[in-house]
Amino acid sequence: MDTVRRKRRDFLQNIAIVVLTLSAVALFVQTQLYNLNQDNDYFRSLSAGSTASQSPPTSLTDLSAPVRIAVTGDYGHYGNVQMTTTDKAFTESLRSLLRGALGSAQTFTPCSGEEFLSAISGVSIYYDFLNPLPLSVLAGLVGEASDNETISARQLVLADRGEDGVRLYLSDGSTYLSCSVAVSASRLADTVSSYELGGAFFAFESAEAEPLFASLAPCSLFLNPLPQVSALSAKTPLSDTDWLLSALGFNPNTKSRYTESSGTEVIIRGDCSLRIRSDGTVSYDGGSTPTLQISAQEDATVNQRILAVQSLLNSIFSNFSSDASLYLVSVQASGSSMVLRFGYQVEGVPIRFSNNADAAMVTLSGSDVTALTLRIRQYSHTGELASLLPLRQSLAIAAQTPGGELSIGYTDRGGDTADASWLLD
């Protein structure tokens, strides 16, 4: 009997020893993986996968970019200043028209600003992407392939020019170009006729009746009545920064981590550094051996790099929910180097910081992220409508800065709200 008990006891002890050994090995492996050099591709893939809660974008059509629209017919304009490129109202017909125009555009020739405004005044569709972007990027946003990275445009007009057919006009704010496109006048007219016209106007059309409009940029677009804009709350979601360190390739348990007297948290890894300020500003310096890389080849196109950077930013911002999203503001490329700037937008309405800082700025050298600056803010709808300063009062203020464009946006001064306001650019 004693022999049976002893065998049973030995058997249970052996099981316990095996379980404890396996647990120790697992803990050791986990610790070593955490402290491994994070330039390791396998570790990086695990780290990125742990933070991303959404599928990475596969094409630029997946990106939500603000776009202001004016549809013009014989009875005036339809306008919308609260639209994005992923909204159903845009994708149903407006996107396909612009895609057809960009896909068939051949050689652009210079034209005058007056011709550009004349095109807006006739049967046309006006697209304003808020900032100049390479034509290849604009084409990508509407689902068209283009390798034209030399021409940039912010405002595009698809207009019926009578005997000259339908033409596409481009403007980056100072240069004007036009091109014949393979979009039929009947298709353009059918699209225009599907909108209720008469509720929008441009500054240049009202300058004679109201001199205050003459002081504005001609293409400042206004709606009558003014659009209703949601009120937003705002906060900086950085009470705990461990998740941010992990997302940016730093070990949260590192001993090279301290807080300055100003409240700025500093983390060092080799000659890489990360600085986190209390206002949500995050600065990453990759040094000579950056810990961050984008998932793109060295010879990747501009659009491919934009998608890879957007995936990286999504993985960072997926750690908290927000009613705002990032959108591409500018692209500066030179060889294998590139600087991408992003802003925040809510339902097509941009959010500006009082110091004009970017929501994100990413500097690339090949696939390495050599520098990264973020302004991490979380925005939520309050369920109420925001109050805007009356248009006439805003015009009087804007008139003191001739040539500025007046538009609706949000201003974030670092408090607990983002205030709806008139922006003057």
Residue 5 has pLDDT above 90, yes or no: no
**For 232-244, what is the mean pLDDT?**
93
Give pLDDT, residue 40.
39
Higher-pLDDT residue of 45, 234: 234
Looking up tokens 């940039």, which residue turns up?
Answer: 152
CA Rg value for the chain:
27
**For 12-26, what is the mean pLDDT?**
53
Q: pLDDT grade, residue 148 (50/70/90)?
A: confident
Give pLDDT, residue 288.
86
Helix (H), strand (E) at residue 68: strand 68-73
Higher-pLDDT residue of 17, 369: 369
Among 14-23, 238-247, 298-307, 378-387, name the most confident range: 378-387
Give pLDDT, residue 31.
41
Quote the percentage of the chain above a pLDDT of 90: 70
Q: Residue 386 gets which letter from DSSP?
A: P
Q: Which residues of 161-186 are buried (b: 16+ CB within 10 A; e: fewer)?
A: beeeebbbbbbeeeebbbbbbebeee
Entry pTM:
0.85
By the 8 A CB rule, do 248 and 338 touch? no
Among 21-30, 167-176, 311-320, name the most confident range: 167-176
DSSP string, 284-332: EE-TTS-S-B-S--TT--HHHHHHHHHHHHHHHHTTS--S-EEEEEEEE
Report H helices in 122-257: 135-141, 185-193, 203-206, 211-214, 242-247
Helix (H), strand (E) at residue 420: strand 417-424
Query: How large is the angle between the packed helices 185-193 and 94-104, nearest 10 degrees?
Result: 160
Residue 217 has pLDDT above 50, yes or no: yes
What are the φ/ψ torsions at residue 31 (nearest 5 degrees)?
-65, -45
What are the φ/ψ torsions at residue 50 (nearest 5 degrees)?
-75, -20
Quote the percentage of the chain above a pLDDT of 70: 87
Q: Which of 138-147, 292-301, 312-321 has the lowest mean pLDDT?
A: 292-301
Give the integer Cα–Cα distance in Å for 266 and 256: 8
Mean pLDDT of the chain: 87
Helix (H), strand (E) at residue 389: none
What angle (nearest 5°) sits at the alpha carbon of residue 293, between those of residues 362 and 243? 80
Residue 46 has pLDDT above 80, yes or no: no
- Which of 284, 331, 343, 281 shows the shortest CA–CA distance to 303? 331
Residue 182 has pLDDT above 60, yes or no: yes
Residue 220 has pLDDT above 50, yes or no: yes
Q: pLDDT grade, residue 53 (50/70/90)?
A: very low
Higher-pLDDT residue of 399, 115: 115
CA dihedral sign, ordered 254, 256, 258, 260: negative
Residue 8 has pLDDT above 70, yes or no: no
**For 366-388, what is the mean pLDDT?**
94
Give pLDDT, residue 27.
46
Give the integer Cα–Cα distance in Å for 218 and 126: 13
**For 13-36, what is the mean pLDDT?**
48
Across the strands, what pairs with 319?
none
> CB 77: neighbour CB atoms within 10 A?
25
Conformational region of residue 167, where left means phi above 0, alpha means psi within -120 to 50, and beta covers everything else: beta
Give the integer Cα–Cα distance in Å for 330 and 126: 20
- Which of 304, 281, 423 shows the shortest CA–CA distance to 361? 281
**For 179-204, what is the mean pLDDT?**
95
In the chain, what is the greatest distance between 2 CA atoms, to the nearest angstrom? 111
Three-class SS state of 360: strand
Give pLDDT, residue 140.
95
**For 222-238, what is the mean pLDDT?**
94
By the 8 A CB rule, do 141 and 59 touch? no
Amino acid found at 116: F
